[in-house]
A and B are shown apart, each in its own frame.
Chain A
């Protein structure tokens, strides 16, 4: 035990969102001049914890201490005053301003009431040098690469005399070279006494940078590793390693010929990699991988939202031009997207118009008149079949629970009787009961001969629901695991880029 208190201490912090326990009695300590990596699966609570530290959200319970004194981080400026600066995943800069103006945004030094550009430039130059960014402060931010903009953001945090720098996935949009530069800066900052909380999915980065690792799982502390024990395998073990509950009741059923055949598909996001795989009639194929591995992009390209740069997609043996969702839909594809409220349903209108939406063209009467009778019938069928809990078919969707909203999304596609169902995080943000119903539904659809390709960041779901799993890492399919080979560690190894694990 040391006599001086740690620079930052988080004690028993808890946070609930409606229906979700984001954090539960989480502890965290950070010493001065230490790089602490916080890792965990998607949804483990890392982002929530960091938002609490940055003063963006406030905890429901627990304490936060800086220098042993309890602090109230109820606003961004309170956090900054306590010496904590969060560097966001998305850049928080105004790229229409100069580099120096960004660094001093909100704290401009003044002279005779006007902005003192000279002082900004001199002082900005100093912090830019500190982060090793060789760019004049007068350069327009938009003229810098994303990586350099990231450095500007770090410089900005330093210029407010931050003692704790929180970096949330800082390398997600950086090139290799820029990443190396960032590492160098992080190490230099550490050596000069700045503490860094480093959040990353990339276990390699964690291994290289961290003095210590705290692992979160399901919103709780899952363990801690000192520097000597940080290794890829140890990390994976802490991140996963839980019992798979019983609710994935798979029933054996017949798997037929390939319904969806994808060969050499190139997505606009990862044009250098080609994707080849197939999904058979009645088969459920899970797609695992970390956030940003290119899974959503793959589904969007299959569905024609993003334009494929190459390769072919065949449904039931016929090639799909897949230049637009309309063509994908008429070929028998359906996509339940990740962001339900943005892309899945129109939350401001009722259940019936939502479910009727994809069928409007098919069911239209003469002169484009709506066929209300068919729409009502389809909606009623789906409400019964999917057990959508809604007072009436006209209920506004945003007043339904997340699970029922998701069922509305499913229902809207099932009216078209798709051959291939693409699901992107089908159970995100819904409660356990509804999850189980969705799984049951996937199972039932597979039994009816639908080919299902689903993306999930929940390990349990991949392990429980997949007949076969594809694992992606940085735009590539790094491995394919048959049900018999499926294990958490096998998936995790592939997901973090170790192709040799399978």
Chain B
């Protein structure tokens, strides 16, 4: 097994050296080449980390002699679920649902008592199907039978039966951003009234009857005497005046970040449990079970998000997203006036943790040993009093949970999850990496470090196709042939070794 890991490591080093030399000019100035450019290395590290996590998971199932084809779809499902759970919406604070717009009478019928609405308040109507948005003042208000009739001083363009109304707040004063002032000044608006429920990261829609609309993120809130001062993210624009009015929007996040992560991982755990039970209790073939999983989770993912890409926008740029796309800067320098950095991507650390834990689990705990034993000779394991079913179950759970972990990171890294293509073929990359790294599909063989190196080989190959300008169409062909050669070489070495051993035993 050790020899196998060394073999794949040698392959990786040869490939890297080859890439470094061929991409450099002259060839001996290795750092001049694109391959060793900091951003390329960073990128390679990141991709290796993301795919490596999937590979480690699948390796556990492969060691039991099974297979997990559902990895790619689990990646997609967990990406979609995370986006759904972390979905953020912005709603006006005093938001009322409109039942009817009577354009001729200048009336709005809203559901409920609309307790915050009074005569002389200014409101905004928006989100209608036919009638245009409008800012108006309430001239009369009447509450009866669970609905509220509001009469306004402005005409509507059309009758309607949809939309919302929200209260509008006056802007009493404002300041434009001025970067050259000392100290530099942010854009600020001051609203009439005290609005203590407004908070950082809420948004505000600024409206002008003629000039239009400006939606901004609130950076800071200060509530004073009869006024609320907001610091905004962007400039207000040159045509801004205190004639503009504001509709504050409340930020609503469906789940907190820890809860969302925990839910996604728990769902994955449940799916792994299901796979494992179907394999060990119902005695279904792992290939069939996980193939059905592959199809099912993909279908479910697409249905959950209406087959539309989902993502995180800018909502988590400073909180969660760096987990996928961020890096720990270890080296910084200046190049032609630009500050360049090289860092270790955060997913790389997650990979290190996963690999370390998985390695200890496989080699140092009884469960890992049982996995290896039952993968090679299930009878022997059972005759040794090992509950082989439970251990197999565990392998499937590890696989789906790591697939979901990978899926979360992939989703954060790309920030967008297109449900029909996200994670496609990832199971095959993961299996290929595991096989390259020394796992035998017959079971009982595998090393975590080998899988990680195997993943790196695949990523360098992928990189090679890009950097050497080999046409994209050949990508799969090249990956396929290299894996085949790798496995073939391994088989041949094994045969020679077996022959030698037989000879030494015979003597």
Contacts and interface: CB of A to CB of B under 8 A. Distances in A.
Contacts of A97: 369, 372-373, 376
B381 interface: yes
A193 to B, nearest CB: 24
Interface in B449-507: 501, 505
A107 B505 CA distance: 30
Interface string B258-302: 000000000000000000000000000000000000000000000
Interface stretch (A11-19, A87-95, A214-222, A461-469): A87-95
Most buried by B among A106, A107, A143: A106
A105 interface: yes
Given A114-B364, A115-B366, A145-B505, A92 B383 contact: yes
Contacts of B375: 96
A151 to B, nearest CB: 14
Most buried by A among B370, B372, B373: B373
Contacts of B505: 145
Main secondary structure of the interface of A (DSSP, over half): loop
A101 interface: yes
Contacts of A93: 377, 380
A94 to B, nearest CB: 4
Nearest to B384: A106
B365 interface: yes
Nearest to B506: A145
A153 to B, nearest CB: 9
Contacts of A96: 372-373, 375-376, 444-445
Interface in A83-134: 88, 91-97, 101, 105-108, 110, 113-115
Contacts of B380: 91-94, 105
B10 interface: no
B360 interface: yes
A82 to B, nearest CB: 14
Contacts of A114: 360, 364-365
Contacts of A95: 376-377
Interface in A60-78: 76-77
B386 interface: yes
Interface string B431-450: 00000000000001100000
Contacts of B360: 114
Contact of A113 (B365, B372, B379, B444): B365
A94 B376 contact: yes
A91 B377 CA distance: 10
Interface residues of B, number: 24
B365 A105 contact: no
A94 B364 contact: no
A143 B385 contact: no
Nearest to B445: A96
B265 to A, nearest CB: 22
A51 to B, nearest CB: 12
Contact of B377 (A77, A92, A110, A115): A92
Nearest to A142: B501
Interface in B339-375: 360, 364-366, 369-370, 372-375
B444 A94 contact: yes
Contacts of B364: 114-115
Contacts of A92: 377, 379-380, 383-384
B445 A94 contact: no
Contacts of A322: none
B385 A107 contact: yes
A80 interface: yes
Contacts of B444: 94, 96
Given A114-B360, A115-B364, A94 B385 contact: no
A80 B385 contact: yes
A106 B377 contact: no
Contacts of A113: 365
Contacts of A101: 369, 373
Given A114-B360, A114-B365, A106 B386 contact: yes
A288 B223 CA distance: 104
Contacts of A77: 385
A96 B373 CA distance: 7
Interface in A18-57: none
Most buried by B among A91, A105, A107: A105
A263 to B, nearest CB: 29
Contacts of B374: 94
Contact of B369 (A88, A105, A143, A145): A105
Contacts of A94: 372-374, 376-377, 380-381, 444
Nearest to A90: B379
Contacts of A80: 385
A73 to B, nearest CB: 14
Nearest to B365: A114
Contacts of B386: 105-106
Contact of A143 (B372, B376, B383, B501): B501
Nearest to B379: A92
A94 B501 CA distance: 18
Contacts of A145: 505
Contact of B385 (A76, A91, A115): A76
Nearest to A140: B1
B220 to A, nearest CB: 49
A115 B385 CA distance: 17
B287 to A, nearest CB: 19
Contacts of A88: 383
Interface string A396-418: 00000000000000000000000
Contacts of B382: 76
Nearest to A145: B505
Contacts of A105: 369-370, 373, 380-381, 384, 386
Contacts of A115: 364-366, 369
Contacts of A107: 384-385
Contacts of A91: 380
Contacts of B379: 92
A115 B373 CA distance: 14
B381 A106 contact: yes
A106 B383 CA distance: 9
A76 B386 CA distance: 11
B378 to A, nearest CB: 9
A88 B385 CA distance: 15
A105 B370 CA distance: 8
A177 B377 CA distance: 27
Contacts of A106: 370, 381, 384-386
B383 A76 contact: yes
Most buried by B among A94, A97, A101: A94
Nearest to B382: A76
The 8 closest A-B pairs by CB, nearest first: A106-B384, A94-B373, A92-B380, A105-B384, A94-B376, A114-B364, A106-B385, A96-B376
Given A97-B369, A105-B370, A113-B365, 13 more contacts: A77-B385, A88-B383, A93-B377, A93-B380, A94-B373, A94-B374, A94-B377, A94-B380, A94-B381, A95-B376, A97-B372, A105-B380, A115-B364
14 contacts: A80-B385, A92-B377, A94-B373, A94-B374, A95-B377, A101-B373, A105-B381, A105-B386, A106-B381, A107-B384, A108-B369, A110-B366, A114-B360, A115-B366
Interface of A: 76-77, 80, 88, 91-97, 101, 105-108, 110, 113-115, 143, 145
